[in-house]
Amino acid sequence: TVAGCYVTDGHLERNAKIRLLRDDVVVFDGKMASLRRFKDDVKEVQSGYECGIGLEGFQDIKPGDVFEVYQMEEVAAEL
Protein backbone atom coordinates (compact mmCIF):
# COMPACT_ATOMS: atom_id res chain seq x y z
CA THR A 1 0.00 0.00 0.00
CA VAL A 2 1.28 3.45 -0.91
CA ALA A 3 -0.07 6.46 0.97
CA GLY A 4 -0.54 9.77 -0.82
CA CYS A 5 1.07 12.42 1.38
CA TYR A 6 1.79 16.14 1.55
CA VAL A 7 5.02 17.28 3.25
CA THR A 8 4.05 20.08 5.66
CA ASP A 9 7.33 20.72 7.48
CA GLY A 10 10.99 19.94 6.81
CA HIS A 11 11.82 17.31 4.19
CA LEU A 12 11.70 13.53 3.75
CA GLU A 13 14.73 11.39 3.05
CA ARG A 14 14.38 7.86 1.72
CA ASN A 15 16.76 6.32 4.29
CA ALA A 16 15.16 8.01 7.33
CA LYS A 17 13.04 6.23 9.93
CA ILE A 18 9.28 6.81 9.93
CA ARG A 19 6.49 6.48 12.45
CA LEU A 20 2.77 6.37 11.77
CA LEU A 21 0.40 8.08 14.20
CA ARG A 22 -3.31 7.34 14.33
CA ASP A 23 -5.29 9.43 16.83
CA ASP A 24 -1.95 10.53 18.40
CA VAL A 25 -0.97 6.89 19.07
CA VAL A 26 2.07 5.32 17.36
CA VAL A 27 0.87 2.30 15.35
CA PHE A 28 4.04 1.76 13.28
CA ASP A 29 7.70 2.69 13.75
CA GLY A 30 10.17 1.46 11.15
CA LYS A 31 11.50 1.99 7.63
CA MET A 32 10.06 3.30 4.38
CA ALA A 33 9.72 0.68 1.66
CA SER A 34 9.31 3.34 -1.04
CA LEU A 35 9.31 7.10 -1.58
CA ARG A 36 7.88 8.38 -4.86
CA ARG A 37 7.10 11.62 -6.67
CA PHE A 38 4.58 10.85 -9.40
CA LYS A 39 5.87 7.56 -10.87
CA ASP A 40 9.55 8.11 -10.01
CA ASP A 41 11.43 6.68 -7.04
CA VAL A 42 13.18 9.58 -5.29
CA LYS A 43 15.69 9.98 -2.46
CA GLU A 44 14.21 13.18 -1.03
CA VAL A 45 11.01 15.28 -1.04
CA GLN A 46 10.94 18.91 0.15
CA SER A 47 8.26 20.69 2.18
CA GLY A 48 5.27 21.82 0.13
CA TYR A 49 5.31 18.84 -2.25
CA GLU A 50 3.18 15.73 -2.55
CA CYS A 51 4.64 12.23 -2.54
CA GLY A 52 3.79 8.57 -2.10
CA ILE A 53 5.10 6.60 0.87
CA GLY A 54 5.13 2.83 1.29
CA LEU A 55 5.99 1.27 4.65
CA GLU A 56 8.14 -1.83 5.14
CA GLY A 57 5.98 -4.65 6.54
CA PHE A 58 2.88 -2.52 7.25
CA GLN A 59 -0.18 -2.12 5.02
CA ASP A 60 -2.96 -0.78 7.30
CA ILE A 61 -2.73 2.91 6.30
CA LYS A 62 -5.95 4.93 6.65
CA PRO A 63 -7.06 8.47 5.74
CA GLY A 64 -6.11 10.92 8.49
CA ASP A 65 -3.00 9.01 9.59
CA VAL A 66 0.04 11.21 10.26
CA PHE A 67 3.62 10.30 9.33
CA GLU A 68 6.62 11.58 11.27
CA VAL A 69 9.99 11.09 9.61
CA TYR A 70 13.15 11.24 11.70
CA GLN A 71 16.84 10.35 11.69
CA MET A 72 18.81 8.80 14.53
CA GLU A 73 22.18 10.39 15.27
CA GLU A 74 24.93 9.05 17.47
CA VAL A 75 26.27 11.72 19.77
CA ALA A 76 29.47 11.24 21.76
CA ALA A 77 28.93 11.24 25.51
CA GLU A 78 30.38 14.18 27.40
CA LEU A 79 31.84 14.05 30.89
Cross-strand bridge partners of residue 21:
26, 66
Tell me which residue range forms the domain holding 12.
2-70
In the chain, the number of structural domains is 1
The answer to whether position 15 is within a domain reads yes
Nearest to 61 by CA among 23, 24, 20: 20
* Angstrom distance (rounded) from CA 16 to CA 53: 12
Cross-strand bridge partners of residue 73:
none
The answer to whether position 38 is within a domain reads yes
pLDDT of residue 47: 93
pLDDT of residue 21: 95
The answer to whether position 78 is within a domain reads no
Domain containing residue 22: CATH number: 2.40.30.10
Q: List pLDDT tens digits, range 6-54.
A: 999 999 999 899 999 999 999 999 999 999 998 899 999 999 999 999 9
